[in-house]
A and B are shown apart, each in its own frame.
Chain A
Amino acid sequence: MALLEVEDLAVTFQRKGTAPVHAVDGVSFTVAEGQVVGLVGESGCGKSVTSLALMGLLAKRGVKVGGKALFDGNDLLTMPGSTLRDMRGSEMAMIFQDPLSSLNPVIPIGLQVTEVLKRHRGMKGEPAEKEAADLLDRVGIPDPRRRLKEYPHQLSGGMRQRALIAMAVACRPRLLIADEPTTALDVTIQAQILELLKELVAQQGTALIMITHDLGVVAGLCDEINVMYAGRVVEGAARRPLFASPTHPYSVGLLGSIPRLDAPRGEKLKPIPGSVRDNIAWADGCAFAPRCAHRTDECLDGPPALVQTYTGHAYRCVNPVTGDEVEAVTAAATLPAPSIVDATTDSDGEA
């Protein structure tokens, strides 16, 4: 059984006087121990809201959360607040996008790390200090004893993110959610952080949900990938099939928009036309239809059903992209971005 089973997760923001916003609309996926699952999509597709809903970090007022999220058989969404608080940090933890603002600027790193140890493992004094130093050492921060006394603004961006990762894994959580952990970092540091996350997953058997808009990150790290659009998963597959044969026009567009090293000089990037705001309600048809080059009249007949193929590929499209059309863009997908750690080797055969 998978560690986390998300079933029909729905998050609706309601405010008096305005139409409710369906930020997440029937999202289902599973994460097993030691597995890395990617949630991919552009800003506003609901990937961050999904993670906050799982952690129980959404505001109570004006938010309706539906569906199920079974963590080891217990539903995170209906769990009493105190149980959930005890689980946060010990059973599941989260890494955020901006490492500077996610650390308290006025207290030293050491206190922030030991705080977690104190809360969940009852450690204090010298043993807690030592454990904190060990943790920093484990995530690759040199001279950890000295760093413990320093303040966030004295650390480099990469080191801050390492410190946050150290805090997140301090109690060896079984589930780790990383919400765009590399967005605020430069490319070389990105690769290092991804490598670190990969190691932690391998060593500790942690389940990792990787939330990102960077397909390069996904290609280097994830086992399973869910592409989200307007609050729904529009395509889900293992890494290889997704990069080799993307089916949903949105996935194809995402892959096609990645800059390529082997592109002819002067060739323009191919963005997906329009913006994420140009969508229609899922009830009226495919939300991506207004931006889709593959649109047919059927697209507006109602919400497209999720199609499962025998290979485990799932997509939500009435007029999927097939064969030759994909050929052109997948060439790009094999060499996504310079931040890839091992995507090139992984997908060589598929090019």
Chain B
Amino acid sequence: MSAKTDRIDRLAELTARKDEGGHGLWYEAFRRLRRNPLAMTGAVIILLFVLIAILAPWLAPHDPAAQTWLGEIRGAEGFIPGPRSGNWLGVDGLGRDELSRLIIGSRQSLLVGVVATLLGFTAGAILGGLSGAFLGMFGKAGRWVDSILMRFNDMALAVPSLLLAISVATILGQGLVTVMIAVGVTQIPVFARLLRGSMLAQSHSDYVLASTALGVRKRRIVLNHILPNSMSPVLVQATLSLATAIIEAAGLSFLGLGGANAANPEWGVMLADSQQYLATNLRLAVYPAVAIIITALGFTLLGEAMREALDPKLRK
């Protein structure tokens, strides 16, 4: 009998615990993400990458700029030693430890990726949000504003992103900030288009019609109903953009616009440096390339999984 009352007690307890209230869209999405092995792979890659970037100074076995041991290890002319006990991934053409340079290089990639994406996301979301809000709130005048904003946006979209980035870099001169701004600017029109389109799609949804039928004001509908519902594709895009930003930043550095100096290595620069040894020492190109690919892959995996998790069509 006591077993039975025990069970009833436990049931009551479980029912009581449910009182915590509702779980939002994001909570559900997060739960789905956790069950998706691909998402978890992506998350682990990103986590590792972030940890390495943060702990880089302590993780790197050597000073990335030091080439003091060049004379000792370098034998015949043109020979660059591969992996050995002191340098796990060998040294580069100037005798600097490859592993240390990769580890330190991750900091700049992360920084550029995050800052550039934040810049693109913020500016793009403001632009797209304004456009969508004007379209939704101010009738004919709003349509005009939207048209003007979006035509400028279309022009920006039509310029190849690398070309746009190079132009920005040329105007602002070399340097890390330049790369961030350049990469960020190329992302703006993408985010703007996406948010505006998403808002436009949401404004035709049933719940907007239902709120209108209840007399809710347009401003409130746009801000409280349309905007929150339009954010999920934009956030997915932000995750995917991180991957693109890292690749583009590496590309700009590769072209020599990054302003990375010897003490401040960067994956794109390492790739560029390895060019002259491509025929004899392919590994010098492979290491940074693989690093770029893996990080980009991590963000892409997580982004794609987020897209799936947030898709209302897949939600139960």
Q: How far is the CB of A329 from chain B (nearest CB, A)?
A: 36
Contact status B22-A108, CB under 8 Å: yes
Which B residues, 237 to 281, have Cβ-Cβ distances below 8 Å to chain A? Answer: none
**Contact pick for A102, options B139, B210, B220, CB 8 Å:** B210
**Contact pick for B215, options A86, A102, A151, CB 8 Å:** A86
Interface size class of chain B, counting residues whose CB lies under 8 Å from the partner chain: 20 to 34
- Stretch with Cβ within 8 A of B (4 or more), from A16-24, A92-100, A238-246: A92-100
When chains A and B are docked, how far (Å) is the Cα of A108 from the Cα of B207? 13
When chains A and B are docked, how far (Å) is the Cα of A93 from the Cα of B215? 9
Contact status A115-B224, CB under 8 Å: yes
Given contacts A87-B215, A96-B206, A108-B22, contact A153 B315 (CB under 8 A): yes
Contact status A154-B214, CB under 8 Å: no
Residues of the B chain whose Cβ atoms lie less than 8 Å from the Cβ of A85: 215, 217
Residues of the B chain whose Cβ atoms lie less than 8 Å from the Cβ of A154: 22-23
Q: How far is the CB of A326 from chain B (nearest CB, A)?
A: 39
Contact status A119-B21, CB under 8 Å: no
Q: Does B19 sit at the interface, judged by CB under 8 A? A: yes
Residues of the B chain whose Cβ atoms lie less than 8 Å from the Cβ of A108: 21-22, 24
Q: How far is the CB of A56 from chain B (nearest CB, A)?
A: 9
**Contact pick for A168, options B23, B24, B214, CB 8 Å:** B214
When chains A and B are docked, how far (Å) is the Cα of A102 from the Cα of B212? 11
Map CB proximity to A onto B299-316 as digits: 1 under 8 Å, 0 otherwise: 000000000000010011
Given contacts A146-B19, A146-B21, A149-B22, contact A116 B216 (CB under 8 A): yes
Residues of the B chain whose Cβ atoms lie less than 8 Å from the Cβ of A107: 224-225, 228
When chains A and B are docked, how far (Å) is the Cα of A94 from the Cα of B209? 10
* Closest chain B residue, CB of each to CB of A100: B206
Q: How far is the CB of B65 from chain A (nearest CB, A)?
A: 50
**Contact pick for A94, options B18, B207, B213, CB 8 Å:** B213
* Closest chain A residue, CB of each to CB of B22: A150
Residues of the B chain whose Cβ atoms lie less than 8 Å from the Cβ of A347: none
Contact status B205-A115, CB under 8 Å: no
When chains A and B are docked, how far (Å) is the Cα of A120 from the Cα of B217? 11
Residues of the A chain whose Cβ atoms lie less than 8 Å from the Cβ of B228: 104, 106-107
When chains A and B are docked, how far (Å) is the Cα of A146 from the Cα of B316? 21
* Closest chain A residue, CB of each to CB of B28: A153
Interface size class of chain A, counting residues whose CB lies under 8 Å from the partner chain: 35 or more
Contact status B215-A119, CB under 8 Å: yes
Total cross-chain contacts (CB, 8 A): 92
Contact status A105-B312, CB under 8 Å: yes
Q: Does B66 sit at the interface, judged by CB under 8 A? A: no
Q: How far is the CB of A24 from chain B (nearest CB, A)?
A: 18
* Closest chain B residue, CB of each to CB of A91: B215
**Residue among A106, A108, A116 with the highest chain B CB neighbour number at 10 A:** A106
Residues of the A chain whose Cβ atoms lie less than 8 Å from the Cβ of B212: 57, 88
Given contacts A88-B213, A116-B216, contact A104 B22 (CB under 8 A): no
Contact status A167-B25, CB under 8 Å: no
Q: Does A101 sit at the interface, judged by CB under 8 A? A: yes
Given contacts A90-B215, A119-B215, A119-B217, contact A102 B23 (CB under 8 A): no
Residues of the B chain whose Cβ atoms lie less than 8 Å from the Cβ of A153: 28, 315-316
Q: How far is the CB of A351 from chain B (nearest CB, A)?
A: 40
Q: Does A299 sit at the interface, judged by CB under 8 A? A: no
Contact status B209-A120, CB under 8 Å: no
Q: Does A207 sit at the interface, judged by CB under 8 A? A: no
Contact status A102-B207, CB under 8 Å: yes
Q: Does B41 sit at the interface, judged by CB under 8 A? A: no
| B residues lining the A interface (CB < 8 Å) | 18-19, 21-25, 28, 139, 205-207, 209-217, 220, 224-225, 228-229, 312, 315-316
Across the A-B interface, the 3 shortest Cβ-Cβ residue pairs: A89-B215, A149-B21, A150-B22
Query: Could you name 13 residue pairs across A and B whose Cβ atoms are closer than 8 Å?
Result: A57-B212, A85-B215, A88-B213, A101-B207, A104-B211, A106-B24, A108-B24, A115-B220, A115-B224, A119-B214, A151-B23, A151-B24, A153-B315
> 11 new A-B pairs (CB below 8 Å) besides A106-B24, A120-B215?
A88-B213, A89-B213, A94-B213, A104-B207, A105-B229, A115-B211, A115-B224, A119-B215, A119-B217, A119-B220, A149-B21
